[in-house]
Amino acid sequence: MPFAVTALYAGLLGLFYVALSLWVVKVRVKQKVASGDKGDPVMQNAMRTHANFAEYVPIGLILIGLGEAQGMPAGATHTLGAALLVARVMHGIGMGRLPHTPALRGGGATLTFLVLLIGALANIGHALL
């Protein structure tokens, strides 16, 4: 089955995205902000936490999926997928709290960048060989 491993992590990341989305709705209701952020720092933080996930996860999944399609071993695909999942949960929790939790936010960002770097280099390497 093509993309079977990537599909697992896409599904799990999708569930976390829904959780982040519902959290943003909850913050909107609590802060009484129907649209935008109205200059509310709590709303701004929730929106940026949600948006940051939406900015990084798609390219991560694309790189992992392309690697899997090019024959990356299942273990390596699972490692990258699990690392991306852990990274984004860490980052979401660390950034979602006010004040931010630097170890979770920074650790999640660092692990995300590492997944993207490894995924990019693996795809480039495979494409050139």
C-beta of residue 37 within 8 angstroms of C-beta of residue 46: no
Confidence check: pLDDT of 78 > 80: yes
Task: Decide: pTM greater than 0.75.
Answer: yes
Helix runs in the chain, H state only: 4-31, 41-69, 74-96, 102-128
Structure confidence at residue 129 (pLDDT): 86
Residue 105's identity, in one-letter code, is: R
Structure confidence at residue 59 (pLDDT): 98
Measured CA angle at 39 (ends 20, 21), to 5 deg: 10
